[in-house]
Structure 1
Amino acid sequence: MKDETKDIVDNTDNQKDNNIYEDICYICRRPESKAGKMIHIPNNICICSDCMQKTFDTMNNGGMPFMDFGSINPNMMGFTPPPNVKNEIPKNQKIKKRAEKKDTVKAVLDASNLPAPHIIKASLDEFVIGQEFAKKVVSVGVYNHYKRVATGTMEDIEIEKSNMLMLGPTGSGKTYIVKTLARILQVPLAITDATSLTEAGYIGDDVESVLSKLLAAADNDVEKAERGIVFIDEIDKIAKKKSTSSRDVSGESVQQALLKLLEGSDVEVPVGATSKNAMVPLTTINTRNILFICGGAFPDLDKIIKQRLNKQSSIGFSADLKDKYDSDPKLLSQVATEDLREFGMIPEFLGRLPIVFTLDGMSKEMLVKVLKEPRNAITKQYKKLLALDEVDLEFDEGAYEAIAEKAIEKKTGARALRAIIEEFMLDIMYEIPKDEAIGRVIITREYIEGKGAPQIEMRGVPKLPAEL
């Protein structure tokens, strides 16, 4: 009896020791820090995914030329291991300890440490300019969601999940808000496009690939991934096709497949891949506590809204005219569920996204603030680049306005700013390293509009030595 107890203790110590050190691929001898997560097979053998894939490829091709059979351990060939072999790590494998995992989820799941909505919004204000209503909605929605996750069920009342649908023109900051939010809360975030999703069985990604990316972002920790955020961008691209004679495999079918994910269910997810096959291990993820945020530009939705609003137009004094909403910049904020149904979103899908809000298009004033105020504004990035060359870069007010006016003409929102600045900064970034005497460069409105040159100030001329 004592011997059996001693053996159990020894095995437990060996298992703890195994968890401390990295696994090493049996074939290529690379540690898991370089080769990635290992696949464990019987007899305590670890093989990386690359070698496993090569093995299957060569087997399918009728040979295994990359492997030297003479050096392969007999255990891999199906022979029984000797009875005196113990579960111990060879000394040559103890090269590096595993990095300690930082448990960043506990800070969020603790209700006492959860940042209040006004603190979340204040953090968003440092990076995202404008969109006050959208930032307020996101802050309250995320706060309530993680409060629900932290507390679980409260007596006999079960709090439902509040998924979100954000609408806004391109370049208005939909993706940027979600990225900043995940960085503030320190939770796993997966950002994916709905354009690549298709119905199961067709060429393309299955809807489970959305959760595969979240699992990868959580370092394959299922418990951590089940408390993450999934942002599905370009959600308007899976709208139901209005006129098609073939099966809508990337439209309505994808919406129907996403229903179980949004609602909350146990989903079989491939680990380390985006599609299910026999060579990829599967794990089960419960989506009950995963917050889904969907976003899309929804082009031509304003026409559907305008058509609905114009049904109330009439003829006569003080009547609503049909052209009343033609120049309304906030027309998208009047969206209703029936407009989204007319666009091509099925009612079941919209019912699982209870929070719907819109982002405003970027105005000239907002674009000027985007250039000047955020912590990582693009103008501050260029100032930092030139500061490394000991050159001061300045923009006058006219230059900011000229850049914003050009961006409005491109109609791509804040994304246009970088393209415009890259264009006129090319010559400056090329010429300045040639002359070390340049001390300051001032960008003017005339230079942005192509009517002049930037103002260049030279450094002070150094005094000559006395003996000369």
Structure 2
Amino acid sequence: MLDSLEHLTPAQIVAELDKYIIGQQDAKRNVAIALRNRWRRMNADPSIQKEIVPNNILMIGATGVGKTEIARRLAKIADAPFTKVEASKFTEVGYVGRDVESMVRDLVEQSVNMVKTQKKEEVKQRAAEIVEDIILDALIPPVQGRSASPVTMSSDPNVIPENDYELNERTRERFREKIRNGELEDRKIEIRVQQSAMPGMGVMGPGMDEASMMNIQEMISGMMPKKTKKRKVTIAEARKILLEEEASKLIDMDEVKEEAIFKAENAGVIFIDEIDKVASSSKKGSGPDVSREGVQRDLLPIVEGSTVNTKYGVINTDHILFIAAGAFHVAKPSDLIPELQGRFPIRVELQSLTKDDFYQILKFPKNALTKQYEALLASENVSLSFNDEALDEIATMAYEVNAEVENIGARRLQTIMSRLLNDILFDVPDRIGANAKIIVTREMVQEKLANMVKNRDLSEYIL
């Protein structure tokens, strides 16, 4: 399951991250090593394999510098289940001490969905054949058994004699070809689809935790008979609905659960954001600081390795990779309780973005905002492009507004690009027709965004 990592060296992992994230080389190197170490552990001597624990990472940096994106892209590279949580939400009343485990349940849910999707892809061809037969049966019901009686012709070509097996089969084959060629996509047929027996069911009880409630709900739901209902839909819609149903029937859910649990335990990545919000700014005192320390102590057993009950089975968190992040403007990493600090041995400080970083973010990543807007307008057959001087001006403005108002990192570019291109996006296709070519220049940027950084108070309302 981790075989895909065999061909990804730390240098190659960094190269993959470089396609989407500008700068932050130190952070990229550390997460690349952590990812490669997973494959190394799975291929180490079995006698020590379980003893090798992951080096969890603490990322320190302002908002918008790429902390979340690095973790998310890392999980995609590894084809690993990934979940992101905000540590600050665990301070809410009624969640402390209980909801901390929900991040592990979310991870397992992600893992199950990933494995299920992969398994469905494997049986897709077989499911498509079954769906084709169901659609064909709805169009031309099959005649049971052969008949020796002569063929009875009807003036209506769609009427097939019930006792004429050969004619029925020939007609079915003709319709099968039409279905495969897409000639009948808009024809309506009646199909039976499964519906949930008790869609709005809830379970209440004193002192019942989230895991117990989910297990009881699933048990009761499994005991209820499955209901079906008739729906009249086009063949195109029927194919989509039935393909999902039939593929689900063909996969072995026990195998999916087993594989998903293994994947979550050995390849899962949990990203805990805003961990600085639960750090105590003083070692002594009462009030909020006590609550924050309580959250840290709730997080500790999960991070250092424990078992968590989920509706798919018991999950061991020993080898899940935890990446924590925070700006640490007020609190310091040393304000975390010592035990939790010790569980994040790798500390990486991410750098604030420079003007040059903004320019590169606009130009080079595969998912750059400029490329996204170009793709949006290309769907209307309008060509959009940016010259280098325009990108440089946008980068300068983003850097200056961050310095003047509040530093929100690369997210500032989204606001600026939206304001710059809103008129164009509104005028297409009414005033700007197909095949138009729009080139964004420095002059256009200056004209559209002239007042953005001149008036600090106004900028605060705009952004």
TM-score by length of 1: 0.58
Residue in structure 2 matched with residue 186 of structure 1 by the alignment: 79
Residue in structure 2 matched with residue 284 of structure 1 by the alignment: 314
Residue in structure 2 matched with residue 240 of structure 1 by the alignment: 280
**Aligned-partner residue type, residue 302 of structure 2:** L
Deviation at 1:289, TM superposition (A): 1.3
Residue in structure 2 matched with residue 32 of structure 1 by the alignment: none
Q: Does 1:450 align with 2:435?
A: no
Deviation at 1:388, TM superposition (A): 2.1
Deviation at 1:248, TM superposition (A): 4.2
Residue in structure 1 matched with residue 459 of structure 2 by the alignment: none
**Aligned-partner residue type, residue 237 of structure 1:** K
Cα RMSD after superposing both structures: 2.7
Q: Do the aligned partners of 1:164 and 1:355 also contact (CA within 8 Å) in 2?
A: yes
Q: Do the aligned partners of 1:170 and 1:413 also contact (CA within 8 Å) in 2?
A: yes
Q: Does 1:415 align with 2:411?
A: yes
SS across alignment from 2:357: helix
Judged with a 3 Å threshold, the aligned counterparts in structure 2 of structure 1 residues 151 and 439 are, in CA distance, closer, same or farther, namely same
The 5 Å alignment of 1:396-407 reads 396-407=387-398
Distance in 1 separating the partners of 2:35 and 2:348: 14
Distance in 2 separating the partners of 1:376 and 1:155: 41
Q: Do the aligned partners of 2:53 and 2:318 also contact (CA within 8 Å) in 1?
A: no
Give runs of ≥4 in structure 1 deviating > 4 Å.
152-157, 199-205, 247-250
Judged with a 3 Å threshold, the aligned counterparts in structure 2 of structure 1 residues 283 and 387 are, in CA distance, closer, same or farther, namely same
Residue in structure 1 matched with residue 357 of structure 2 by the alignment: 366
The 5 Å alignment of 1:337-352 reads 339-341=332-334, 344-352=335-343
The 5 Å alignment of 1:108-257 reads 108=4, 113-151=6-44, 153-154=46-47, 158-198=51-91, 202=95, 206-219=99-112, 221-227=260-266, 228-242=268-282, 245-246=286-287, 248=289, 250-257=291-298
Q: Do the aligned partners of 1:432 and 1:438 also contact (CA within 8 Å) in 2?
A: no
Deviation at 1:447, TM superposition (A): 2.2
Distance in 2 separating the partners of 1:451 and 1:429: 14
Distance in 1 separating the partners of 2:301 and 2:441: 55
**Aligned-partner residue type, residue 371 of structure 1:** L
2:326 to 296, 299, 307: 296
**Aligned-partner residue type, residue 407 of structure 1:** A
Residue in structure 2 matched with residue 80 of structure 1 by the alignment: none
Distance in 1 separating the partners of 2:45 and 2:111: 21
Q: Larger relative contact order (C-alpha < 8 A, sep ≥ 6)?
A: 2
**Aligned-partner residue type, residue 440 of structure 1:** K
Q: Does 1:433 align with 2:429?
A: yes
Judged with a 3 Å threshold, the aligned counterparts in structure 2 of structure 1 residues 376 and 201 are, in CA distance, closer, same or farther, namely closer
Distance in 1 separating the partners of 2:286 and 2:84: 32
Query: Larger helix proportion, structure 1 or 2?
Result: 2
Q: Deviations over 1:18-54 (max 9, x none)?
A: xxxxxxxxxxxxxxxxxxxxxxxxxxxxxxxxxxxxx
Q: Do the aligned partners of 2:359 and 2:391 also contact (CA within 8 Å) in 1?
A: yes
Distance in 2 separating the partners of 1:249 and 1:215: 31
Residue in structure 2 matched with residue 384 of structure 1 by the alignment: 375
Distance in 1 separating the partners of 2:273 and 2:22: 20
SS across alignment from 2:438: strand
Distance in 2 separating the partners of 1:365 and 1:225: 38
Q: Do the aligned partners of 1:233 and 1:295 also contact (CA within 8 Å) in 2?
A: yes
Distance in 1 separating the partners of 2:91 and 2:290: 6
Q: Does 1:107 align with 2:107?
A: no
Q: Do the aligned partners of 1:128 and 1:177 also contact (CA within 8 Å) in 2?
A: yes
Distance in 1 separating the partners of 2:427 and 2:281: 52
Judged with a 3 Å threshold, the aligned counterparts in structure 2 of structure 1 residues 151 and 193 are, in CA distance, closer, same or farther, namely same
Q: Deviations over 1:90-109 (max 9, x none)?
A: xxxxxxxxxxxxxxx3435x
SS across alignment from 1:371: helix
Distance in 1 separating the partners of 2:93 and 2:427: 55
**Aligned-partner residue type, residue 422 of structure 1:** S
Q: Do the aligned partners of 2:17 and 2:70 also contact (CA within 8 Å) in 1?
A: yes
Count residues in correspondence.
296
TM-score by length of 2: 0.59
Judged with a 3 Å threshold, the aligned counterparts in structure 2 of structure 1 residues 204 and 406 are, in CA distance, closer, same or farther, namely farther
Distance in 2 separating the partners of 1:364 and 1:357: 22
**Aligned-partner residue type, residue 262 of structure 2:** E
Deviation at 1:245, TM superposition (A): 3.2
Deviation at 1:359, TM superposition (A): 1.0
**Aligned-partner residue type, residue 223 of structure 1:** F
Distance in 1 separating the partners of 2:307 and 2:433: 63
Distance in 1 separating the partners of 2:322 and 2:39: 13
**Aligned-partner residue type, residue 405 of structure 1:** T
Deviation at 1:205, TM superposition (A): 5.7
Q: Which runs of 5+ in 1 are unaligned?
A: 1-104, 272-281, 302-338, 454-468
Deviation at 1:397, TM superposition (A): 2.1
SS across alignment from 2:447: coil
Higher mean Cα deviation, 392-401 or 229-238? Answer: 392-401
Deviation at 1:362, TM superposition (A): 0.6
Q: Which runs of 5+ in 2 are unaligned?
A: 113-256, 451-463
SS across alignment from 1:129: coil
